[in-house]
Chains A and B, each alone.
Chain A
Amino acid sequence: MFRGAVRLCAARGHLGRALSTRSGGSTLDWAGKVSEIKKKIQSVLPGGAWNPLYDTSHLPPEHSDVVIVGGGVLGLSVAYWLKRLEKQRGAIHVLVVERDHTYSRASTGLSVGGIRQQFSLPENIQLSLFSVDFLRNINDYLAVVDDPPLDLRFNPSGYLLLASEKGAAIMENNVKVQRQEGAKVCLMSPEQLRNKFPWINTDGVALGSYGLEGEGWFDPWCLLQGLRRKVQSMGVLFCHGEVTRFVSSSNLMETISGEEVTLKRIHEVHVKMDHSMEYQPVECAIVINAAGAWSGQIAELAGIGKGPPGTLQGTKLPVEPRKRYVYSWHCPQGPGLETPFVADTSGAYFRREGLGNNYLGGCSPTEEEEPDPGNLEVDHDFFQDKVWPPLAQRVPAFESLKCLVHLQVRSAWAGYYDYNTFDQNGVVGPHPLVVNMYFATGFSGHGLQQAPAVGRAVAEMVLEGHFQTIDLSPLLFTRFYLGEKVQEHNIF
């Protein structure tokens, strides 16, 4: 009531002032000002834009059931599946907090966008198969009634992994596992490779494995925007800010064996607004850590890893940013339209980009020469020293780049891997001690392609308490404490 009265007074004040200044002016002026006054009155009326008290419309809500830290493709996928699997429309309030709303440093947009089933771990293969199915039916899953259909720009050209004599046995084993899981992969001898891809030099290659179906590359930006659009239409709120603090309570509990453990529960998430000092505490029931390369910092904020080393309290989330370069070059005599995504025995990779003989490629550096992840500057010498020589050896047509290399490398950029230093695999599911923090991170470069499936798994964990579609229990956080590595061999 009082607020209404204040508003009315203020309105009158505005009007009165406007009228008094009007008396001296000309009549022509008056006609122009009438509409302005009308607008002013309208803005002052309840529901208008003008508010005499503090305006909080730019802040996130004070309560939200689920807060997702990180609005990349993984975070959005979790949001999507939470909203899709909820029992009743509008049952869960979801807030996505993203620090960088242009996604300029987010791994999603900077990735090469590949998808493959050629992993060594059955869980990874299953995740990837589910994601391929999702991407194929993306316009069913992410359809918004009045918006145009998404154009994923999927290139179904397949992956070609090459193995030296040393790696041939492992590759054969991997392909066996992949076929068991239902992936369409075939093995190729060097001779078959030469027949199929005449541009390849098979020196030092003992075996190749080639994905026939559901492998290739797509436009990551399209997936991100599609998810964002759909999630927004489902009622998920977005907030442009940064998570700076978790307010939590702890409980001293005793296990069956008599050990004392401290269970923590997060009650509030402090979201600091971008370019300002103000923050909003958001009361929440569940926090999902999908902050990608920076999820280690978020975990630390929640007190994960702060304890004596060797205990569960002291086990950190071993995810850190690692910088990876992608180079784009032009080679007029390069391989043609049939070129798959080729991963060489040396770890360097390349793929075709468009029709004009342009190629994208890169290589993962070794542990010792890992570049500083502080900025996203590109080291061009890395291409000269590490990426180009093995590729030129594999594809002799690239040899012609040698003399003209500075002209031919068209562009290059760098992006972050959410690198899991423990075993290069994702972390999914709840933390054993901070009971309401769930992870969806650490995928070390294959997070984009597995995001649709991981989102579903995390949403099932939150809503049902266990995995339903794909059993990801080997990827739970506890493995870091128990020291059980879930090794993935095919990471590049």
Chain B
Amino acid sequence: MAAPRASLHLVASTWNRGTRGIRGLSSAVAPENSQRKGRTLLQFLANRFYDVEILREYLFRKQISKVHKENRSFTYIKERYGPYIAGAYFVLKQGGAVKFQGKEWIRSTGRGYFSPQLLNFQAVPIEAVDASDCAINYEGLDNLLILKELQSLSLQRCPHVDDWCLSRLYQLADSLQELSLAGCPRISERGLACLHHLQNLRRLDISDLPAVSSPGLTQILVEEMLPNCEVLGAEWAQGLKPGPEEQSRDTASPVPA
């Protein structure tokens, strides 16, 4: 059992390097013309050879598990240094930025994201997190939800933040004042309905959410739901745009990956 699995691993890793481009394209939801060729070639092979089919499935699984791996919690750091350091470490590792109370923003600087000076802030609560463009998902959110003093959270353009994640934000209801969800491709009005728990919210950015079916109406309903909150959303005319123009805007905006 061990031998074939090891060889499969080898094959997969070499293939992985060679077909990275094609694989990336094949996972796209809407294939473009330039992508179609590579896609159909792999599809053609997969339809005829079981090995290729299994290989593609294996690569697909690997892609999924990579996101999960990146979002695991750092239990050891949390136990040793406390929740603030664990949260900061997680955000910096993902490529975001954190702000300890009364301190400057700390941004990740490429490889050396874990600087020893971080350990000086063990007892200082984190008040703001900027996780824009991070691959954070439902499980990774664990690391942020333990930051009970968090006042400002930015999840702009996070590709894996979805409605399920929003349903967990109630745990920050006591402290959270600012929340930005702009540009998250998987957030819809169904998730936004859960934000009614956040009664201390002062500012909410829900602009440019492609999965929301009627942005104008949603914004009005969210404003009704959170009367003390300033809701930044779609301009009133956005829902009225003619069809073709909207389509061109959609294709122009790159989907963050």
Contacts and interface: CB of A to CB of B under 8 A. Distances in A.
Interface of A: 89, 136, 139-140, 143, 145-146, 148-149, 153-158, 196, 212-214, 216, 336-338, 355-356
Contacts of A149: 29
Contacts of B214: 355
Contact of B196 (A143, A153, A213, A338): A338
* A89, A148, A196, A212: most-surrounded residue (chain B CB, <10 A): A212
Interface string B20-32: 0000001001000
B192 A337 contact: yes
Contact of B164 (A148, A156, A338): A156
Given A156-B164, A156-B193, 8 more contacts: A136-B138, A146-B39, A158-B194, A212-B170, A336-B221, A337-B192, A337-B222, A355-B221
A156 B163 contact: yes
A148 B26 contact: no
Nearest to A140: B64
Given A148-B29, A153-B190, A338 B64 contact: no
Which A-B residue pairs are the 9 nearest by beta carbons? Answer: A156-B167, A338-B196, A337-B221, A155-B190, A337-B193, A337-B225, A148-B29, A145-B56, A140-B64
Contacts of B46: 145-146
Interface string B215-228: 00110011011000
B163 A145 contact: no
Given A154-B190, A156-B191, A337 B224 contact: yes
B43 A146 contact: yes
Interface in B32-46: 39, 43, 46
B16 to A, nearest CB: 15
A337 B29 contact: no
A107 B192 CA distance: 30
A437 B213 CA distance: 46
Contacts, number: 69
A216 B163 CA distance: 11
Contacts of B189: 337, 355
A146 B219 CA distance: 35
Contact of A156 (B166, B213, B218, B224): B166
Contacts of A213: 167-168, 170
A342 to B, nearest CB: 14
Interface in B126-182: 138, 163-164, 166-168, 170
A355 B29 contact: no
A338 B227 CA distance: 13
A336 B225 contact: yes
Interface string B77-112: 000000000000000000000000000000000000
B15 interface: no
Contacts of B138: 136
Nearest to A195: B199
A337 B167 CA distance: 14
Nearest to A141: B64
B57 interface: yes
B4 to A, nearest CB: 12
B136 to A, nearest CB: 15
